[in-house]
């Protein structure tokens, strides 16, 4: 559900055009000019703002870029020596590159944001446009070394198994996968699995049940480490839906273009994957009983145990309420469940799943919300029993950074650890496998981004809040103490330009006990004696939380506020990164959008600030936020009076399968219609602008049409 620009114009710009008049804001030409020029006005006024550190291979040294007056500079730090200095002579490098490229660069306007040290840090390599450059830092000479290597772009479309796109063409010269010992080659012929000896003297089929309608996939072929066994996936194709596009104004011709894209939608019949085991020397095919994985939405890539005793895969059942880690005995083909997650709502596979197999699968680290909060568990991989819960408490694990098998420690990110503080702030921690030794490496009241040295002996802690400019420090892991202060952002010029931080505001949710967090943007020229209409920026997609937590010198919401509004953003119930109960509000209920919590939050602000006019509230959003923006007018018309909805997934039956079945469930039920903006369009009372890009490849444009 990615935000994007439309027709070269931002969603915000289009909202600027329609919402002021509807809500009664008296925007003048000067207001619009100020709003439009705000980014340029504030750009570069915050200095000494550091970017993420880049550790140099396996050394204790790193570099980072920071903002300075007029541009940026690069800094090099030696953690062991506690020395900080320029990464190179910026003026000399600018002169050398200007001469070589026949362009004009200065010490603070070098045309790259990242680089790589080579030749024992005597040379750097970087990209400018489509070209790669190398600059000698001894002689300060720069040469162009070739074109930038571009990674091929991946296409869009829906979910499913390994064989999306129909049965594979049978090539005249098939591809071969060699066994680890080099004796055998596996390949697909006539939709079946064949094996031949490396010298091509012995070739035989190990399967005979493949056909156009139920075929084996070449890229699924996987040899066991001992080269005696082979696994392949047989795939039965489902329904491959195509959606149609008309590009009305192509750049390269006068007439429109027609195109199609594969795009699975909720309820579509999916490809069905079935792993099959082969014993190569006996030419034996072993079918695996699928009782533990009967109805897959997805079966993950297969992985062999290093000793070839078994292979594993993960099974996500259609509907996302059952998730299993399965292990198949390589001798018998018997499958067993190592880990099973079952929920009345959903297992959040798209953001709260983590697994690390240790000791060749005899131990497993696993992430789960089974106790109501997202935590880590330590499993015995032989018995499938939980040895112990590693992390616990009314807070959540946000990500795992590293598992140290030798020291039996886990390094992870967490949210909500500090009572009374913003539960969305991220902190970095370490804990032992047995749940002891919980250590937090970040204590400042803000959200943290931590980068460890390759040997984990040092780390850079960078933190900020929306109302606190960034601070960056080099610290020692052993005791958490500061080795070297790196940067403390200076915003004096920003403040002189009139910048003011957004206000963080909290109120209680519909349950009367859970804090709801949001931010408030006021015009830079603000008069508390006036009444200000309110605009809410909404994105209530359950895959995350969206209210900004880190410092930024500019926000698009501030530009909108300059037209005479108070602009807000809030995370209601049904979004992620809180408790399982908080998240579950979205289940089969995307039409809810967290509105009961949002409206209480608005009312709490209005009770504190008389200038906050909740008789004039507008709402705007894009993609899932487009669905929410229109949903506000349809389901809460007594509160929201105007809406701007762009590229909305207005009916969850018409949008991509993987996102919508995750939250709305399968099989399709009456709840889909209940949450549909299309089915509920008759409820519209307020003023609405719908916008859609005709070539939107994220949400089917038909949803808006």
Per the structure, the complete domain to which residue 622 belongs is given by 11-17+498-703
CA dist., res. 482 & res. 377, Å (int)? 32
Classified as helix, coil or strand, 296 is strand
DSSP SS3 for 20: helix
pLDDT digits (tens, 9 = 90+) for 156-198: 433 333 434 456 656 556 799 999 999 999 999 999 999 999 9
pLDDT confidence band for 3 (50 / 70 / 90) = very low
Residue 429 located in a structural domain? no
Q: Considering the entire predicted model, what is its pTM?
A: 0.93
592 belongs to a structural domain:
yes
- Of the three residues 151, 172, 195, the one that is the final residue of a domain is 151
pLDDT of res. 154 = 45
C-alpha pair distances (Å), 234 with each of 92, 271, 369, 688: 61, 10, 33, 49
Instruction: Write down which residue in 100, 128, 151 finishes a domain.
Output: 151
Q: Tell me, what's the pLDDT at 59?
A: 96
Distance (Å, rounded) from C-alpha 76 to C-alpha 82? 11
Q: For the chain, give the percent of residues with pLDDT over 70.
A: 93
For the stretch 217-275, pLDDT in tens is 999 999 999 999 999 999 999 999 999 999 999 999 999 999 999 999 999 999 999 99
pLDDT interval class at 25 (50, 70, 90) = low
Q: What is the pLDDT of residues 567-595, one digit of tens each?
A: 999 999 999 999 999 999 999 999 999 99
Two tokens, residue 21: 């008049």
Classify residue 251 by burial, with Cβ atoms within 10 Å: 0-12, 13-18, 19+.
exposed
Q: Is residue 106 part of a domain?
A: yes
pLDDT band at 354 (very low <50, low <70, confident <90, very high): very high
| 372: in domain | no
For the chain, counts of helices (H) and of strands (E): 11, 43
CATH at 556: 3.40.50.1820
pLDDT digits (tens, 9 = 90+) for 518-544: 999 999 999 999 999 999 999 999 999
Tokens of 605: 């602000």
Residues 470-490: tens digit of each pLDDT: 999 999 999 999 999 999 999
Q: Is the pLDDT of residue 104 over 70?
A: yes
State mean pLDDT over 484-509.
Answer: 98
Share of the chain above pLDDT 90, in %: 91
Q: Quick one: pLDDT at residue 161?
A: 39
Does residue 312 fall inside a structural domain? Answer: no
Q: pLDDT value at position 29?
A: 87
Q: What is residue 30's predicted lDDT score, i.e. its pLDDT?
A: 86
Q: What is the pLDDT of residue 350?
A: 84
Domain boundary among 100, 131, 151: 151
Instruction: Name which of 31-40, 149-158, 672-681 the model is least confident about.
Output: 149-158
pLDDT at 6 over 70: no
Mean predicted confidence (pLDDT) in 490-505:
97
Could you give the 3-state DSSP secondary structure of residue 585?
Answer: coil
DSSP 43-84: TT-SBS-B---EE-TTSSEEEEEEEETTEEEEEEEETTTTEE
Q: Contact at 8 Å (CB) between 218 and 168?
A: yes
Give the end-to-end CA distance of the chain in Å, rounded to a whole number. 18
DSSP state of 269: P
Residue 201 pLDDT:
87
d(CA 559, CA 566): 11
Q: What is the full DSSP assignment across 621-636?
A: EETHHHHHHHHHHHH-
**Total domains present in the chain:** 2
Q: Which helix (H) or strand (E) segment is 558 a member of?
A: helix 556-561
**Vertex 352: Cα angle to 372 and 675 (nearest 5):** 80
| pLDDT (mean) for 461-470 | 98
Residue 5 confidence (pLDDT): 38
- 266-316 residue pLDDT tens: 999 999 999 999 999 999 999 999 999 999 999 999 999 999 999 999 999
Considering the domain boundaries, does residue 578 fall inside one? yes
For 679, the enclosing helix (H) or strand (E) is none
Contact 269, 303 (CB under 8 A): no
Buried b (16+ CB within 10 A) or exposed e, 265-288: bbebebbbbbbbbbbbeeeebbeb
pLDDT at 27: 73
Largest pairwise CA distance in the chain = 91
Residue 155 has pLDDT above 50, yes or no: no
């Amino acid at each position: 559900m990615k935000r994007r620009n439309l027709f070269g114009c931002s969603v915000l710009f289009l909202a600027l055009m329609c919402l002021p008049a509807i809500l009664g804001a008296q925007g003048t030409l000067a207001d619009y000019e100020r709003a439009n020029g705000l980014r340029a006005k504030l750009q570069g006024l915050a200095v000494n703002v550091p970017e993420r550190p880049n550790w140099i291979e396996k050394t204790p040294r790193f570099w980072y870029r920071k903002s300075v007056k007029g541009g940026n500079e690069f800094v090099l730090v030696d953690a062991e020596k506690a020395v900080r200095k320029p990464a190179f002579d910026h003026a000399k490098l600018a002169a050398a590159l200007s001469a070589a490229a026949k362009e004009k660069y200065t010490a603070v306007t070098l045309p790259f944001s990242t680089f790589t040290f080579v030749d024992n840090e005597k040379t750097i390599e970087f990209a400018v446009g489509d070209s790669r450059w190398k600059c000698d830092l001894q002689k300060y000479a720069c040469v162009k070394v070739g074109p930038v290597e571009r990674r091929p772009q991946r296409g869009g479309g829906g979910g499913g198994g390994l064989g999306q796109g129909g049965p594979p063409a049978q090539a005249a010269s098939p591809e071969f996968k060699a066994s680890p010992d080099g004796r055998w080659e596996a390949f697909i012929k006539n939709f079946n699995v064949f094996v031949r000896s490396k010298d091509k003297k012995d070739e035989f089929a190990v399967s005979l049940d493949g056909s156009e309608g139920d075929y084996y996939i070449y890229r699924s072929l996987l040899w066991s480490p001992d080269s005696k066994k082979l696994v392949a996936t047989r795939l039965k194709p489902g329904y491959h839906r195509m959606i149609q596009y008309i590009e009305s104004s192509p750049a390269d011709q006068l007439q429109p273009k027609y195109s199609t894209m594969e795009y699975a939608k909720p309820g579509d019949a999916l490809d069905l994957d079935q792993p099959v085991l082969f014993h190569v020397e006996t030419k034996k095919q072993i079918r695996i009983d699928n009782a533990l994985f009967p109805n897959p939405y997805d079966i993950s890539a297969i992985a062999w145990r290093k000793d070839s005793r078994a292979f594993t895969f993960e099974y996500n059942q259609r509907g996302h309420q059952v998730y299993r880690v399965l292990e198949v005995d390589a001798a018998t083909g018997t499958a067993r469940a190592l880990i099973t997650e079952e929920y009345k709502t959903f297992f959040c596979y798209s953001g709260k799943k983590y697994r690390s197999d240790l000791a060749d699968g005899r131990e497993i680290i696993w992430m789960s919300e089974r106790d109501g909060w997202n935590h880590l568990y330590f499993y015995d991989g032989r018995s499938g029993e939980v040895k112990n819960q590693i992390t616990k408490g009314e807070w959540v694990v946000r990500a795992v950074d590293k598992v140290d098998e030798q020291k039996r420690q886990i390094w992870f990110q967490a949210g909500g650890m500090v009572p009374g503080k913003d539960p969305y702030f991220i902190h970095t921690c370490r804990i032992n496998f047995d749940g002891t030794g919980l250590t937090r490496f970040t204590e400042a009241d803000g959200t943290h981004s931590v980068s460890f040295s390759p040997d984990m002996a040092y780390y850079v802690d960078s933190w900020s809040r929306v109302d606190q400019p960034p601070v960056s420090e080099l610290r020692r892991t052993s005791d958490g103490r500061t080795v070297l202060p790196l940067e403390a952002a200076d915003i004096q010029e920003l403040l002189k330009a009139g910048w003011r931080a957004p206000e963080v505001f909290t109120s209680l949710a519909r349950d009367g006990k859970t804090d709801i967090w949001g931010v408030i943007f006021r015009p830079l020229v603000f008069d508390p004696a006036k009444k200000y209409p309110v605009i809410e920026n909404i994105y209530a997609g359950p895959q995350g939380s969206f209210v900004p937590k880190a410092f930024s010198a500019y926000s698009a919401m501030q530009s909108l506020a300059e037209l005479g509004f108070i602009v807000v953003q809030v995370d209601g119930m049904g979004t992620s990164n809180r408790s399982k109960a908080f998240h579950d509000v979205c289940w089969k209920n995307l039409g809810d959008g967290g509105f009961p919590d949002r409206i209480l939050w608005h009312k709490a602000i209005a009770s504190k600030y008389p200038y906050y006019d909740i008789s004039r509230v507008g709402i705007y959003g894009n993609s899932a936020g487009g669905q929410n923006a229109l949903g506000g007018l349809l389901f809460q018309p007594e509160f929201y009076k105007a809406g701007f909805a762009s590229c909305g997934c207005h009916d969850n039956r018409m949008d991509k399968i993987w996102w919508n079945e995750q939250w709305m469930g399968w099989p399709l039920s009456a709840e889909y219609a209940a949450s549909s903006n299309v089915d509920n369009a008759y409820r519209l009372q307020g003023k609405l602008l719908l916008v859609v890009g005709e070539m939107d490849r994220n949400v089917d444009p038909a949803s808006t049409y």
